[in-house]
Amino acid sequence: MKSIQNGAARAARTLSLFMILSTFAAPAFADTGDTAWMLTSTALVLFMTLPGLALFYGGLVQGKNVLSVLMQCLALACLMSLVWVAVGYSIAFGDGNGAAEGAGALWGGLSNAFLGNLTTDAMSGTIPESVFVMFQMTFAIITPALIVGAFVERVNFAAVLLFSVLWLVLVYAPVCHWVWGGGWLADRGVADFAGGLVVHATAGISSLVFVAMLGKRKGFPEEMRPPHNPAFVMLGASMLWVGWFGFNAGSAVGANAGAGQAMLVTHISAATASLVWMFVEWIKFGKPTLVGTATGTIAGLATITPAAGSVGPLAAFIIGTLAALACYFAVTLIRNRLKIDDSLDVFAVHGVGGILGTLLIPFLAGVGPMAPGLGDATIGGQFGVQATGVIAVCAWSGVASVLILFLVKLITPLRVSATDEETGLDTASHGESAYGI
């Protein structure tokens, strides 16, 4: 009898220990393969900003400003993470509880501020919600960081931080809700697999607004010096290319056929756009450049982003070709003809690319193998839906950015002094120098 009691006691202790440990373990119904892939994708997307985008942008500026660009990317990665946790995720993916009737179509509300509703067993599809929060956080990090390329070499660091906080709350998070969080554009059927609208269109339009209110760099465009370190540009573009697999294939939110398709078409588009841009330069100027080819890579990646879940390999080749031609023309138009100092071509590459890819989906969704088609939608009908999304997102991004910048100007100058601009922001704003000169 005593041995039976001892056995029962041991069994009870074992059961209690199991129950305690199970409260800290992952939910039993989480798919481990999907979760592992999403953890990897999250790290890849963060890798895009740190160090990919930082090196890509840093190599394109003058040597006296390279550290300022790296500092802006690093600081925004940290600051946007906290803003996302505080209110961004709630606005983007909340259900709008507590908002006025109908407001849930426009924003998710603040009921999940500071992730107050997040529990250890909360799920988002087949993955823990904590992983989904982190994955989407990396998108919220890189999108305002993209805008950095528009105002480098003359912007006030405090203005960058303040603008980015307000922009994430008022532009990025609401648009994210419209498209991915069950908002009004999602209800209309807008297709944006990984951020042609949510990421690239918002950043591109806001970049134009920012540079219009900031003004041109001294000597633009006649006295502009070439990129100080093309090797950095290539290294950064390569890191962005690798990280983009997490960006696009990760947007399938699982280790599945959709992720494989997205990865394949992403690579095809990037490779095609790189070569097309290279040959355009080769024919036009007699020499293909490393910086130009790397820029073509980014154009191909940005343009395939919204369509990565909707097109097959043949369509990806077409998208890469059109991306290089359209973005190359946009760079020439904006920089040389319109004389707009979008310093590192944020709108011409990301804005034009994201919008182009979004609008091409209806025409290419049924082209070639692996293309899923449009379902019950017609090409004309889906194009109208896509165009509605483009117009709405671009209009809101532009108007909201103007209002944000007017508010920022009341608090701190947008631009450094002429003396600081001549000295270089590395020394003037941060008291450091990359090369000891």
Return the domain boundaries, the chain.
36-101+137-430
Residue 220: phi, psi to the nearest 5? -75, 135
Report pLDDT digits (tens) over 271-324: 999 999 999 999 999 999 999 999 999 999 999 999 999 999 999 999 999 999
- Give the pLDDT band of residue 224 (cuts 50, 70, 90): confident
To which H or E segment does residue 128 belong? strand 127-128
CA angle 116, 199, 359 (to 5 degrees): 130
Selected residue with higher pLDDT from 74 and 368: 74
In degrees and rounded to multiples of 5, residue 185 shows phi and psi of -75, -35
98 pLDDT tier (thresholds 50, 70, 90): low
List own/partner pairs for 274-279 with CB under 8 A and 24 or more apart. 274/300, 274/324, 276/320, 276/321, 276/324, 276/325, 277/324, 277/327, 277/328
**Three-state secondary structure along 71-126?**
HHHHHHHHHHHHHHHHHHHHHHHCCCCCCCCCHHHCCCCCCCHHHCCCCCCCEECC
Asked if residue 350 lies in contact with residue 146, where contact means CB atoms within 8 angstroms, the answer is: yes
Lowest mean pLDDT, pick from 40-44, 248-252, 370-374: 370-374
Rounded Cα gap, residues 148 and 151, in angstroms: 6
Distance CA 187, CA 270 (A): 31
Structural element, H or E, at residue 364:
helix 352-364
Spatial separation of the C-alpha atoms in residues 301 and 98, rounded to whole Å: 39
**pLDDT band (50, 70, 90) for residue 376:** confident
Mean pLDDT to the nearest integer, 408-420: 97
Find where tokens 């939910």 sit: 27
With contact defined as beta carbons under 8 Å apart, do 269 and 241 qualify? no
Contacts 24+ apart (CB under 8 A), 178-181: 178/105, 178/106, 178/392, 178/393, 179/389, 179/393, 180/92, 180/93, 181/92, 181/93, 181/94, 181/108
* Structural element, H or E, at residue 127: strand 127-128
Is the CB of residue 107 less than 8 Å from the CB of residue 189?
A: no
> CA 35 → CA 46, 59, 124, 129, distances in Å?
17, 35, 10, 10
- CATH for the stretch 36-101+137-430: 1.10.3430.10
Indicate if the alpha-carbon torsion angle 42, 45, 46, 47 is positive or negative: positive
List the end-to-end C-alpha distance of the chain, in Å, as a whole number: 86
Res 104: pLDDT: 81
Higher-confidence residue: 428 or 372? 428
State residue 100's pLDDT score.
53
Element (H, E) at 7: helix 2-22
- Please write the tens of the pLDDT for every residue from 17-28: 333 334 444 445
